Amino acid sequence: MLKAQRVLILALKKPCSSCERRQTMTAPIQSTSAPKIIKAHCPRCGAGTNACVRAEHTVAAADPDDGTSSSDTGRILECCGCERVYFQRNFWFSEWETVGQHPITGDPCLEGGIETTYWPAPITRAEPKWIAEIHAADRTLDQLLSEMYTALNSDLRVLAAIAARTTFDRSSELLGIDPALSFKRKLSALVDRGKISTDESEILAALIDAGGAAAHRGWRPAPDDLNTMIDVVEAFLHRSFILGDGIKKLKAAVPPYSSKP
Ligand SMILES: [Zn+2]
């Protein structure tokens, strides 16, 4: 960094009432009776949603030898919409900042320098609403689906692919298929019982092979490949556990046909 640039940056680091970002970085722990509200990325509602800051803590550090400084801020947030509690981390490093221009006054202003991460990670693929019924129906499948979507949204593609295959495995067991059978024989049994078509069997065989490649052959699926795998799992679950039940409910709701006298 040039000396002139460092002098300018040091000048800009003086307390500034117009710089909300830097005030936020040094904010004290908030009272739970009157929480501060900020914009954040809710795992359910998405980016730019209001969140109450339920707790906040900052650890600051400075290196007198090279003049750099940093701060690490953790926040426990509660979404003002869905009430989901999640964690936000803002790591700021002085050398990551650049000199920009204030959007209103046009004065020189420091920009960037903060890396923001969330846990749970922001959703890249949301669960379909109907999956809530499956979560409630079987604890094991519930956990597998949660891990599959968590891995997917954390870009842990190998783990997501393995979870997709295991989700099929558990689902077939719930459909009455012997869990001790090989995957190939499970698919044959599902076809024999009329649970899936031959075409669907071939699609699921590709899913199982992909999951096996991730588990045993070190294959890391590309995002598109992984999304296709999740499409297959969701279609199988929907057809096996939701659509059939939905049709039963629909049949029960429709009045029986009566012939005219
Ligand atoms: Zn929310």
Please give the chain's pLDDT, 261 residues, in tens.
Answer: 444 455 445 444 544 444 444 444 444 444 556 789 999 999 888 889 999 999 999 999 999 998 999 999 999 999 999 999 999 999 999 999 888 888 788 888 888 889 999 988 777 788 888 888 887 888 888 899 999 998 888 888 899 999 999 999 999 998 889 999 999 999 999 999 888 889 888 888 988 988 889 889 888 888 888 888 899 999 999 988 888 665 555 556 656 665 555
Ligand 1 geometric centre to CA of 48 (Å): 10
Ligand 1 geometric centre to CA of 154 (Å): 18
Ligand 1 geometric centre to CA of 150 (Å): 16
Ligand 1 geometric centre to CA of 152 (Å): 19
pLDDT at 22: 43
Ligand 1 geometric centre to CA of 231 (Å): 25
Ligand 1 geometric centre to CA of 80 (Å): 7
Ligand 1 geometric centre to CA of 146 (Å): 17
Ligand 1 geometric centre to CA of 12 (Å): 35
Q: Looking at the domain 131-253, which fold is it?
A: Four Helix Bundle (Hemerythrin (Met), subunit A) (1.20.120)
pLDDT at 76: 98
pLDDT at 78: 97
Domain with CATH 1.20.120 in the chain: 131-253
pLDDT at 5: 52
Ligand 1 geometric centre to CA of 47 (Å): 9
Ligand 1 geometric centre to CA of 42 (Å): 5
Beta-strand pair 69-79/108-119: unpaired
Ligand 1 geometric centre to CA of 46 (Å): 7
pLDDT at 124: 77
Ligand 1 geometric centre to CA of 236 (Å): 28
pLDDT at 17: 42
Looking from the CA of 159 toward its CB, the CA atoms found within 13 Å total 13
